[in-house]
Amino acid sequence: MAKKNTHSSSAGNKSTAKPQKASKGRSKKSGKKYPVLRWIGKTAIVLFLLACLFFILVFLGVLGPVPSKDQLQIINNPLASEVYSADGKILGRYYVENRSYASFDEISPNVINALVATEDARFYEHRGIDEIALVRVLVKSVLLRNDHSGGGSTISQQIAKNLFPRVNYGPMSMPVNKLREAIIAYRLERIYSKDEILALYLNTVPFAENIFGIEVAAERFFSKAPAKLDVHEAAVLVGMLKANNYYNPRLHPERALGRRNVVIDQMLKNNYLSAEEAAFYKEKPLGVRYRMISYNQGPAPYFVEMLKPELMEWCSNNQNEKGENYNLYTDGLKITTTVDYNLQIYAQQSVKEYMKDLQKVFDNHWKDRDMFKADPAILKSAIQNQNTSGRSYQEELASYNAKTHTTLFTWDGLESKEVTRLDSLKHYLKMLNAGFIAIDPQEAALKAWVGGIDYRFFKYDHVKAPRQTGSTFKPFVYLAALEENIPPDTYFPNQLKVYKEYDDWTPRNSHDHYEGYYNMKGALAKSINTISVDVLLEAGIDETIEIARDLGISADLPEYPSLALGVASISLKEIVEAFAGLVNDGIPVKANYLVQIADKNGKVLKTFEPNISRSPVVAPENCRAVIKMMEAVIDEGTGRTIRTVYNIPGEFAGKTGTTQNNSDGWFIGLTPRLVTGCWVGADDPRVHFRTTTYGQGAYMALPIVGKFFYKTYRDSKYSSLKNSSFGLPGEEMLAMLSEPGYKEVLDMPKHDFNLADIFKRNEKPSDLGKTRQREAKDKDDGQLWKKIKGIFKKKDKKR
């Protein structure tokens, strides 16, 4: 047994020894491979540690800042401040980046579906990161050194890229930026809901033409709010995101159409459209309705520019919740104004439509003559005004002969061509321009403002520009006469006079007609210069200036008889405000134009109370009388084409104005609810029509007002305007105003001659009690002597 056991043990030892020998052989064989495996393991560990280190460095912001959750909760994109009409429509913007914010509910589902289908089909399934795509990008960029290995970014990652621009790290740029964007995307998804992320993306993404966000893009390319975009329109805008300039539907419609159809196919593929719907929308044309609303375009560019200094001052004096001054260009302020959107559109259309036709007439008028040879000073002064080099005129002129490529404004569209600077200068010097303004006299509210024909090329605002007013000033002369108790049925002889006390000055009528007698109504209707001067001297120059000042005219008014003929230079805004005061029964009107300023969230920061005076500065009776006289201008005088050509119904008063050499054409149009004014001319007064047939206000300016009221009255929204009425003066005043405006000879009184009767009405004070009584007895006696001499002159003439 012991032997057996011994044998067994010995056998066991043998069996144990054999495997040891075999193991030793295997160990020796595998040892040859161990360094490779060991190297792979170590490399894997090193790579893993490096990846961890890489992640930590990116996560901690060592390789570029990564916003925290707190920072991501307050995302402030530069937002354009917007100017709104009284009825809530956008008139213009101030911006660094042309961007407006639209909430998720304000974006059409068609846009959302197109975006998700095209940019991130798994958007509702992931948490901000598409891991497979991220690994693919890392492998391609790091291992394959492919710098163009982008793609696979989720919508959240694209937001990160838009909000926090990429940084150049050389070969590591793609992995660093991709990982950084993934971290930001993950944080965004933990802060915001899916709907909020979609809205955030659509408000940050850039479109073509320096515009940002879906709201501005929808307005620019389809003239509608983003909530109203149809499927094919949404597909166009989403399609632009791949390469916004390349697929710009205005510049490259064929490319945009092809890209739109790709987006529609993606919507079909991802079950947002049926096959029939996809086919239907792919058959539709692009349907672009391009409309530029920017800082210097849109329906009211001159008005928006006019507002800017006042808004900038407000911003510099007011702080936001951070204690910083508001920034007009980045804080997304919402500025509401008194402007009526439709009236503004009608005003702008009227200016553009008529000025296009008038420019053709003007060019044809001068086609056989060179105005710059006729008056070389025009060109010379223009060159000298632009000369900032200090060179002589001849040296500067030589530089104007060099050709350059430029874009010229023409009424047939922008013209890109090579021209000399001299030809370009001549082109713009010959352009006629215009200004138009409309004011609600009762509310003292600005309703429309057109400062010129095109703000891109003509920055000068002609509503604010002082120009000689011509006969448009005459109603204030007649108002002064009524305030001085001169009866409106007083007849004055229409004759040439030499005013020796004023350097032998002789006023002349535009038609050189001198005969008969006119009362105030007739003289104003026919714009008789000789009688306007007589009335001015009878009423008093100082008294007339005082009334103009009371009604808000602050411009320099010369103390000469020529004041009656409108030699004073007054801005269109100022003179229309004065006429608004006339319609407002003598209560001065200073047009208000701001209603409120709100922040980007709609919180009202400032309200503007209208500055309306309550006390008349002239007798309401006399204001109404002058308006009756101005109605005669429309019904029987120089403004009658308002009725005969433009068929404007209802009560309407007006006054034309033409300055010396036909440099300025004016027309003032009054209704009980709307006071308008228009000026037309060239920036250089020496550029003008050679004949009054074309150069008068009735031809140059009246048609713009006529077109404006024609468009306005055809709009049912404004039907109440044409049914409103002016206030009437008293019966006695109406009786005097009913007298014929013109008489060839004067009738002699049938009753006994009595000086007291002649001046009885002159002694009657006005209803307001504001009469400018003659202050010295010698002045009274002098006026009496004039009356007596006039009576005997009339007798002699009758004989």
Domain limits, the chain:
38-67, 100-293, 371-429, 433-595+610-731
Beta strands in 527-663, from DSSP E residues, in sequence order = 569-571, 594-598, 604-607, 653-658
Structure confidence at residue 631 as a pLDDT band (50, 70, 90): very high
Q: Which residue has the higher pLDDT, 228 or 187?
A: 228
Which residues partner with 570 through β-bridges? 467
Rounded CA gap, 752 and 297, in Å? 70
Amino acid identity of residue 209, one-letter, is E
Amino acid at 221: F
Question: Can you tell me the mean pLDDT for 705-720?
Answer: 97
The listed range with the strongest mean pLDDT (102-106, 508-512, 549-553) is 549-553
| Nearest residue to 791 via CA among 751, 741, 761, 755 | 755
Q: Is the pLDDT of residue 21 over 50?
A: no
pLDDT category of residue 426 using cuts at 50, 70 and 90: very high
Q: For residue 753, with 0-12 CB atoms within 10 Å meaning exposed, 13-18 middle and 19 or more buried, which class applies?
A: exposed
Span 708-726, average pLDDT: 95
Q: 624: closest CA among 584, 673, 677, 575?
A: 584
First to last CA, the chain: 183
| Secondary structure element (H or E) that encloses residue 14, with its range | helix 2-31
Query: Taking all residues of the chain, what is their mean pLDDT, rounded to a whole number?
Result: 86
Nearest-10 Cα torsion for 775, 778, 783, 788: 150
Q: Say how far apart CA 306 and CA 308 lie, in whole Å.
A: 6
Element (H, E) at 307: helix 301-316
According to DSSP, the residues that pair with 81 across neighbouring strands are 94
The whole-number pLDDT of residue 750 equals: 45
Provide, rounded to the nearest whole percent, the portion of the chain with pLDDT above 90. Answer: 64
pLDDT of residue 10: 42
Q: Does the pLDDT value for residue 238 go beyond 80?
A: yes
Residue 183 pLDDT level (bands cut at 50, 70, 90): confident
Question: pLDDT category, 737, cuts 50, 70, 90?
Answer: very high
Inform me whether the pLDDT recorded for 386 exceeds 70: yes
The residue among 488, 514, 771, 504 whose CA lies nearest residue 630 is: 488
pLDDT at residue 63, rounded to an integer: 63
Percent of the chain predicted with pLDDT > 70:
83
The phi and psi torsions of 110 (rounded to 5 degrees) equal -60, -35
Distance CA 352, CA 201 (A): 39
E strand intervals along 350-411 = 403-408
What CATH number is given for 433-595+610-731 in this structure?
3.40.710.10
Rounded distance between C-alpha atoms, residue 79 and residue 72, angstroms? 17
Question: Cβ contacts of residue 296 below 8 Å, gap of 6+?
Answer: 305, 455, 456
Span 603-628, mean pLDDT?
A: 94
Domains 100-293 and 433-595+610-731 share a fold: no
Tell me, what DSSP letter sits at residue 662? Answer: G
Structure-model confidence comparison of residues 63 and 398, the more confident one: 398
Q: Residue 60: which pLDDT band, with cuts at 50, 70 and 90? A: low
Give the residue, 483 or 780, on which the prediction is more confident. 483
* SS3 labels along 239-273: HHCCCCCCCCCCCCHHHHHHHHHHHHHHHHHCCCC
What residue has token string 């239907």? 280
Query: Which residues touch 292 (CB under 8 Å, ≥6 apart)?
Result: 220, 298
pLDDT of residue 670: 98
For 769, the token pair is: 């009690």
pLDDT at 780: 46
Position with higher pLDDT, 368 vs 447: 447
CA 185 to chain centre: 39
Residue 265 structure tokens: 């196919």
pLDDT at 164: 76
pLDDT at 136 (0 to 100): 66
Domain spanning 100-293, CATH class:
mainly alpha
The answer to whether residue 781 scores a pLDDT higher than 70 is no
Q: CA angle at residue 693 from 687 to 695, to 5 degrees?
A: 25
What is the pLDDT confidence band of residue 222, given thresholds at 50, 70 and 90? very high
Residue 640's Cβ-side half-sphere holds a number of Cα atoms within 13 Å equal to: 9
Pick from 102, 357, 109: which is nearest to 219 by CA? 102
Q: Where are the alpha helices (DSSP H) in 192-250?
A: 194-204, 214-222, 231-240
> What pLDDT score does 612 carry?
83
pLDDT at 308 over 90: yes
Q: How confident is the model at residue 650 (pLDDT cuts 50, 70, 90)?
A: very high
Range name among 238-252, 267-281, 774-788 with the lowest pLDDT average: 774-788
Q: Which of 118, 56, 116, 114 is nearest to 231 (CA)?
A: 114
Q: Is the pLDDT assigned to residue 265 strictly greater than 90?
A: yes
